[in-house]
Structure 1
């Protein structure tokens, strides 16, 4: 009986496909988020981050010339992805209260995202030694959320559905109303973040308070 001939199928040779810089950055961001949350900013070394991401220190420094630049890029990337999901376009088919609830819910989804809260906790812990961390976090996240909500409110003012003297200030107040207390409870009190149902209930209450107030009728 003739022996079966060995397979002539050839495996591809050469180096494995080269990962793009954008793909490498995402791997570094994942490693950095974990390291910063567990060890803190000061205790996290660039060498350790490079090892965790499976790249050389040289490659890490090529992508991010300093740890501060990596932190800023990491925050901007995460917040950019979350902000991309925030849709605050004015909808003429819904009433002002329903629209405001939806807008507040979208902002709360960002402000109370577990990754964002973890970053905020780390920023607060490290801000005395590294004040630029707080400045970058505010610029890339908090101020942009307020700006998005202010744009939505401005559209309602233009349609004469509400009247506001300072739209930007009102947006900041609303963000504080929907998110500040739950954030503080999680960061300082160690309490769990609100469930989706609780966030929806809070958005409903905030919208009613903002639009109608809570002063009792005098007799």
Structure 2
């Protein structure tokens, strides 16, 4: 018994690291802050979210937060830009000569629809609309970092098809906006204002196919 007691009284020999924990880089800290902001804004909304809450969720001090971002509006803008940049980087608008115009257009529209109808993007858009009267800069930043950039990407693809003489368009930017409106605006409005579920993948693909056919062939009945 005495021996067992003696053994149980022995100090722990587990090795523990000494010194301060390694310091995170600003790049890693920024990534953590943006991720915390994405979840917090989505749950609490922009107006109800404080910089103190954002710093706490990111595990940093408010001083560090303000060193990385001058204010909540700048953090929201950076968060939107970061999220949309990640989604836009995955957008592949096929421009190869080996791809026919219809296949390429469907792929381009599907990529734009995937971005516009992404649940997080729609949630951000809903929040921006709710807060736009009080914080008008949010809507402007969301438009510049998301909607406008998506239209420019599609306009670039259309411009390439015009150069290859596959289609004839006078204003590619205008047409790009029309095409994105056809493929995504109605499902977006139904989700944001009507509380309807976002379309499934198959529904998006069918919508893309219809939009591509309308653009390339039109729907006027041909004369006999």
TM-score interval (norm. to shorter): over 0.9
TM superposition score normalised by structure 2: 0.91
Secondary structure of the structure 1 residue equivalent to 2:194? coil
Aligned counterparts of 1:204 and 1:48: Cα–Cα separation in 2: 45
1:120 aligns with 2:139: no
Matched residue SS, 1:217: coil
Equivalent residue in structure 2 for 1:206, among 211, 214, 219: 211
Q: Which has the larger radius of gyration?
A: 2
Cα offset, 1:178, TM superposition: 0.8
Of residues 191, 194, 197, the one that matches 1:189 is 194
Contact 2:94 2:107 in 1 (8 A): no
- Pair 1:74 & 2:79 matched: yes
Partner of 1:3: none
Q: Which residue of 1 aligns with 2:3?
A: none
Separation (CA, whole Å) in 2 of partners of 1:30 and 1:171: 31
Stretch deviating more after TM superposition (193-202 or 100-109): 193-202
36, 50, 53: which one aligns with 1:31: 36
Distance 2:12 2:81 in 1: 51
Taking the aligned partners of 1:89 and 1:215, their CA distance within structure 2 comes to 28
Contact 2:94-2:104 within 8 A present in 1 as well = no
Displacement after TM superposition at 1:8 (Å): 7.8
Encode CA deviations 1:19-63: one digit per residue, 9 max, x unaligned: 222222222222212222222211111011111111111111111
Match of 1:141 in 2: 146
Considering only aligned residues, what root-mean-square deviation do their CA atoms show, in Å? 1.9
Unaligned 5+ runs, structure 2: 1-10
TM-score for both structures, normalised by structure 1: 0.93
- The answer to whether the aligner puts 1:63 opposite 2:68 as a matched pair is yes
